[in-house]
Structure 1
Amino acid sequence: MRISEILRRKGPDVVTVAPDATVRDLIRVLAENNVGAVVVSDDGEHIVGIASERDVVRRLHTLGADLLERPVSEIMTAVVHTCSPDDRVESLNETMTEHRVRHLPVLQDGLMVGIVSIGDVVKSQISELETEREHLVRYLHG
């Protein structure tokens, strides 16, 4: 299965936050959208970084409550691993495991067209397994 199929199912929406937004704003956006990470972007198309709940917690441990008024750019991950709509889901398993990331923005011609999470990857794999199982059952009974 290709990443484009996942995006067809879940849609192209990507939650973003500006690099100069405060960490307090980031936490609000994460909570309001029920997501674990957001793409940091000035324009919603070009990636500056990615910020996750994990980034907040790790910095909160060292900076305390002062962290809440700092800009997201201070805690975000600036090196962002990405994928394309044509990539196979199986390749994401390797990328996510190797780099220990749970979210990959999807880029096409340098612009963001979606985001894929580890949950999306697992759902797609379960769906493929269920389809294979149904085919095998039909074959055996039919």
Structure 2
Amino acid sequence: MRISDIIRSKGKGVVTVPPDTDVRTLLTVLAENRIGAVVVSPDGETISGIVSERDIVRALAARGASVLSEPVSAIMTADVQTCAPHQHIDELAEAMTLGRFRHMPVISDAGGLDGIVSIGDVVKIRITELEVERDSLSTYIRTAAT
């Protein structure tokens, strides 16, 4: 299965915030959208960084509550790994595991932000694939036994 299949099923919508958004506002955006990360983008298309719940927690632990007034650009990950729609989800899962992150923006062939994929999306696909395989094997065993 390809990343484009995930994007097709979940949609291309990506929540973004400008780099000057304060962390307190970011927390509201995360809560309202029930998500764990947002892409930091000045225009909704280009990627300046990504900021996740983990980034917020680490910044709070290091600098205290004053971080809530800082811009997200102060806590974001600027070196963002991205993927392309044509890549296989095995590549995505491996990159997420090795890099120890849970969200990866998808960049279209034209270079624009095409979506975002989470480790939850990957797990959901894997479970579906295993269920289909189980059902196929069960059917095979039942038909072979008769």
Instruction: Name the larger-Rg structure.
Output: 2
Give CA-to-partner distance per residue, 1:41-66, whole Å, 9 cap, x none: 01111111000111111111121111
- Matched residue, 1:110: 111
1:13 counterpart = 2:2: no
> Which ranges of 4 or more aligned residues in structure 1 deviate by more than 3 Å?
none
Query: One-letter code of the match for 1:71?
Result: P
Equivalent residues in 2 for 1:8-47, closer than 5 Å? 8-47=8-47
Identify unmatched segments of 5+ residues in structure 1. none
The one-letter amino acid paired with 2:7 is L
Please give the secondary structure, in 2, of the residue aligned with 1:50: strand
Identity among equivalent pairs (%): 58
Matched, 1:70 2:70: yes
Aligned partners of 1:63, 1:119: CA distance in 2, in Å? 30
Cα distance in structure 2, aligned partners of 1:37 and 1:139: 42
Deviation by residue 1:88-142 (Cα, 9 ceiling, x = unmatched): 0111111001111100000012111100000000000111111111111122222
Q: In structure 2, what is the Cα distance between the partners aligned to 1:29 and 1:21?
A: 10
Aligned to 1:87: 87
Match for 1:78: what amino acid?
A: A
The alignment yields a C-alpha RMSD, in angstroms, of 0.8
**CA displacement, residues 59-92 of structure 1 (integer Å, 9 cap, x when unaligned):** 1112111111111000000000111111101111
Give the 3-state SS of the residue equivalent to 1:113 in structure 2: strand
Q: Structure 1 stretch 130-139 or stretch 66-75: which is displaced more?
A: 130-139
Is there any run of 5+ residues in structure 2 with no aligned partner, and where?
none
Which residue matches 2:133?
A: 132
Who is 2:123 aligned against?
122
**TM-score, normalised via structure 1 length:** 0.97
Question: Following superposition of structure 1 onto structure 2, how do residues 52-67 of structure 1 map, counting pairs within 5 Å?
Answer: 52-67=52-67
